[in-house]
Amino acid sequence: MPAEQPVVRRAFLLRVSFIAGLGGILYGFDVGIIAAALLFVRNTFGLSTHLEEIVVSVVPAGTMVGAIVGGILSDRLGRRVTLLWSGVIFIVGSILAPLSPNVGALIAARSLLGFAIGFTSVTAPVYVSELSPPQLRGTLIGMYQFALTLGIVFANLVGYWFAAEQSWRLMFVTGVLPAVVFLALVFTVPESPRWLFIKDRTEEGERVLLSYTDARGAQLLLDDIHLATELRQNQEGWTALFTAKARRGIVIAVGFVVLQQLCGINTVIYYGPQIFALAGLDSNQHAIFASVLVSVMNMLATVIALFLVDRIGRKPLLYAGVGGMLASLLVLAFTFGHQATATHATGITAVVCLMVYIACCAASMGPIAWILVGEVFPLPLRSRGAAAATIGYGLSNTLVSLTFLSVIHRIGSAATFGVFALFCAVTLVFTRFVIPETKALELESISA
């Protein structure tokens, strides 16, 4: 017999999830804008292939450092305060990037933006998961991923808009506006009630719960929170992530986000125009427009995940989505391997394959990775677990983005996308034997 579920005010939760999701928009914008901007930055500063890779990869590298610091601050100062600091850092980085007089300054500014992304990656999914009742948790955490895809669409549209002027500085400065809006709105949201209870601020935590549920619902959520208190005494340090109760969460969360990157998803986001140029699209604007189409598909497919993740579950979506990614990558690798020279037809095939690939990822791996990160750790370790996952994400993302252009020049496009397809097959095996089905389960029962 299923456990009784608390009745909640969905308007409140949607508002909080939207505000947290603005951090996802900033994330998506700052990783997505480089795809278009890099085409013109490399001409301004005369970048080599290796320097191009560095300009791209400093964002995920900065994300790792931000994840460590953000995980510590999130536990010590609270989820809301950490989100406020991320907004400040986003604003500073978004101002410094377009003012960069040389490539070194640009690298420093983008590192700062990566640092802010680390803060939000650690804090926003955890914050939303801790406010959400079980029956809505997957959808509400998935809104962060939807916001991220919306940020990528926004970045590609900005890139396409300014491509005719070749103004990468205007592309970067546009990020100031959503950063300011995000910072202003975070001031209006409450602290996580679960974090307040960990800090023995019981009355504040109860007030937050009663702001979006009735007395019965608050009691049900309180019972859920109290199940986690037995872990507090023995799981205060980072080493507690490797205890028996937390170790499986590390394997699931870190393993899955690493596989997500090794399947190649962010290479399409970072290097889309270059991929389309290799496939035969004959101008920067056409290549950027193709990236706009791919990013729109990414956003629309994420909506599918939001509707289905709490209805049919995590694992069925993963089987369908990762299987579709595998098939589209194999077709893309075959197309590159059997086309001696790039033609217009090759370019169209590449666009279609990458649209299918990113749609399948956005409907499965994209949001579910961060849903799992918010679900599989015990309450006292949730921020540090999310930080560990973000570090794994940053390391693998940095590795792939720092080597993609060099690898594709060395072994060719067909072999490169064939390697990504191989990792999709590995992900299907990982899903079958490692990923749990967490649909509608209480957070603490998952970690137990």
Q: How far lies 428's CA from each of 73, 362, 376, in Å? A: 35, 16, 19
Q: How far lies 95's CA from each of 122, 133, 172, in Å? A: 23, 38, 8
**Beta carbons within 10 angstroms of residue 342's beta carbon:** 18
What is d(CA 194, CA 132) in angstroms, rounded to the nearest whole number?
Answer: 11
> Domain 10-447: which CATH class?
mainly alpha
CA angle 124, 20, 108 (to 5 degrees): 70
Q: Three-class SS of residue 8?
A: strand
String of b and e for 398-427 (b: at least 16 CB within 10 Å)?
bbbbbbbbebbeeeebbebbbebbebbbeb
Q: Measured on CA atoms in the order 416, 418, 424, 430, is the torsion positive or negative? A: negative
pLDDT of residue 296: 92
Contact 34, 157 (CB under 8 A): no
Token pair of 336 as six digits: 């590159």
Q: DSSP letter at 243?
A: S
User: pTM, whole model, 2 decimals?
Assistant: 0.78
What is d(CA 115, CA 59) in angstroms, rounded to the nearest whole number?
Answer: 8
pLDDT of residue 231: 47
Phi-psi region of 280 (alpha: psi -120 to 50; beta: other; left: phi over 0): left
H helical segments located in 309-343: 314-337
What is d(CA 13, CA 124) in angstroms, rounded to the nearest whole number?
Answer: 13
Q: Three-class SS of residue 435?
A: coil
pLDDT of residue 262: 96
Q: How far lies 415's CA from each of 38, 255, 399, in Å? A: 24, 24, 17
How do the domains of the chain map onto residue ranges? 10-447
Contact 82, 112 (CB under 8 A): no
Contact 110, 52 (CB under 8 A): no
pLDDT of residue 8: 67
pLDDT of residue 228: 57
- pLDDT mean for each 10 residues of the chain (448 residues): 60 79 89 89 91 92 88 88 94 96 96 92 82 73 82 92 88 94 90 85 82 73 64 57 80 95 91 82 78 90 87 94 97 84 75 92 90 80 80 89 92 94 98 89 64
pLDDT of residue 233: 46
